[in-house]
Amino acid sequence: MVDQTHRDLTEEDISRIAGTYRQWRIGSEEYKDEPGFCRSVGLEELCSHDCVLTPGRYVGAPPVEDDDEPFAEKMQRLMAELREQQAEGVRLNAAIKKNLESLGFPLRPEELR
């Protein structure tokens, strides 16, 4: 993913998409709807959604694998990770401020939070 909404497709991605489309187009027995990737819908369903073609409306999301980590433990781990990242952010902000000041570009307090 380039960011949350943009993905650079690899040759493998393109091949998978093209192959799936070909299977669907010829009505192959090999074509199967796959949550989060593809789904074939009829005109009636499209019309029931005012012909909006937003893929997520039809394709849905892929199944989420359960990681078997209890919620309380996961939150403790994630909170510890967040605290570490926040501390690193404070350290990096101080280093940036110091470097800019040494170059003659001091920051006002509100500029680096």
- Beta-carbon contacts of 9 under 8 Å, excluding residues fewer than 6 positions away, are 17
| Residue 112: predicted pLDDT | 64
| Residue 9: predicted pLDDT | 95
| Residue 2: predicted pLDDT | 85
Are 107 and 98 within 8 A, CB to CB?
Answer: no
- Going residue by residue through the chain, which has 113 residues, state the pLDDT in tens, using 9 for 90 and above: 788 888 999 999 999 999 999 999 999 999 999 999 999 999 999 999 999 999 889 998 888 888 889 999 999 999 999 999 999 999 999 999 999 999 999 988 777 66
| Residue 46: predicted pLDDT | 93
| Residue 88: predicted pLDDT | 97
| Residue 113: predicted pLDDT | 63
| Residue 20: predicted pLDDT | 97
The token duo for 35 is: 């949550």
The domain locations on the chain are 11-59, 71-111
